[in-house]
Structure 1
């Protein structure tokens, strides 16, 4: 009965946290707009508190909470990306038609509500005060992807803001679809690991001691596989098992947070795979300078100053120093690992033919395609392996806890 009361109390507490979080979020959305830092800080802190209570309420309902939390996070990411694309498209059309951006942003804000409306109006106020568009987007945050800001900075330096905005709105295509598929599979593995760990803990704490006591009363010995399970759980191997689960949970949690853009740090293997993707974005930004017959150093300096990935910024800064000293930028890119030897041949041939900007964009698209195929290949190999390992673990658990029952029945007979 006490366990039932505890579950009921947990359910009531979770629902209460859900309702309180919804109320706080609704109240934060109705706070009046203000340029005062204290008022804006109060609104942001209220939103954080509301979302925190909402998350705690969902997690208090174990099964449905985890499912709802994952689905809600994915929906939030897609809505935010759609809103970012819509704003960039609106700004691109306005810039191409030489329209003032402030009224356009204010009109865009009128079609939004809640935090999105507040952030868009803050962007409009910054533009009205004379702040440049890339700096205003960076100051507000969340209204444009990080990689788009680097492109906009290059467009501003070159006087090609319409072209920079149009390039920032380019769809991610196959690469984005592959990353979404990867995030979905990792979320599934995370869900599987969390509940498998809960089941193992329950069996270890509740069922295994009962088996040991029953077999001790009958003077019988537990089956070998059950003894191995006990040794793995309570013996010297349990730190390794616990460490393996913690590492797997940490990796899946990292993947989800990285997909949600909560963190920007990349694991070494992922950073190595994604380096060519970042190099492609840099090449597309530099192509604007080539098309406008402007010095490449000017665009390279803008990208090296504001690109969101520190590792790429460091490589670009080395390249900038070498190019400023008279080195060939193509060879410098290759020495920094941003392009391959095949890319060097393509870019040199295009440079001689006079269509370098087109070749730079084609190389960038080739990088995206190769990355998408590599990630897809790793998914096809590693995901079945993970499923098979999970199945073997379930088989070991079933055998370890079923064989004692069979042995006990045989003993009684």
Structure 2
């Protein structure tokens, strides 16, 4: 397991010398610490553990760690941190917007966006039933932003029925909330990392623009969508007014998200971020690894997508044993499946339980996605890890009571 060398307090320079000398000594200690790091990162202490719960498990790369140590910093509350300013300018240009603002988390970015877009106490937002904001963000829309969420059905591909959208937009009627925004998640996590294409966004915009409704994109994994379609990231936001850009999932930065939008929107978001305690000082240590992530990690997302297809293809061979999987739904780095006669929770428990049966020695950690088991690929996962996962799944399924018939046992031997 990776152990990052620390600089002990006793090693720090005593400030009897000039502050410049102290800084030079500290930098020498930092360089020595970095030089002692291993050249490769070990993701787990146990090679028989494969953790597929989320791409948030990614560790920052060595290049990111170096960037943290060497980052130029300043006070970001005075907008004087050069690393933060560079990141914000870079992301704004990358996604074709006027300005950007750094946040410690995507949840805070989502919340601030809603508080700016829905700026009155009778505001309403249209949002998918399976969106991250509805399921995993603790009801912040209602409890903190004072925004009424009106639910839209998510279709199988993560989009909405456009007729439903049109029918649910409400104007400035005294007895009803006023629809101010609509939220789109790209990629759509809960449904399996589905990609929302520009063609849908164009159709959606043709409806919302007639009513002055703003389009907001929760882009925690928007780079996955861009890589999957092979298009510039900005093309995904051509018809969006505002978006959150995540850097801490498959891109592997240790933390952070950015809002992108108009200069006026970002000015207002800056004030609300401060209200929520999101004002940061020397935030360059957050921005520096994010810059590295945006520069180096998109190419590795292609490998994650390839691994997801590989895992799905191999799991499909277990269909005779009761595993259900939709191959067409695997578009990015996520694989969803179910098992006949076995609950999601029980399948996850069995996959994480070490046994002595064939293929069962591996501990595979998976995510409970409600009605499905979720496996997420990230840059730590190898082809060998995928083989271990499939071997374990096969061992679990073969030992289910309904798979212990002589006929199925014969099929198992052939497989």
Q: Based on CA coordinates, which of the two structures has the bigger radius of gyration?
A: 1
Higher RCO by CA contacts (8 Å cutoff, separation 6 or greater) = 2
Q: Which has the higher strand share?
A: 2
Q: TM-score of the superposition, structure 1-length normalised?
A: 0.23
Q: Which has the higher helix share?
A: 1
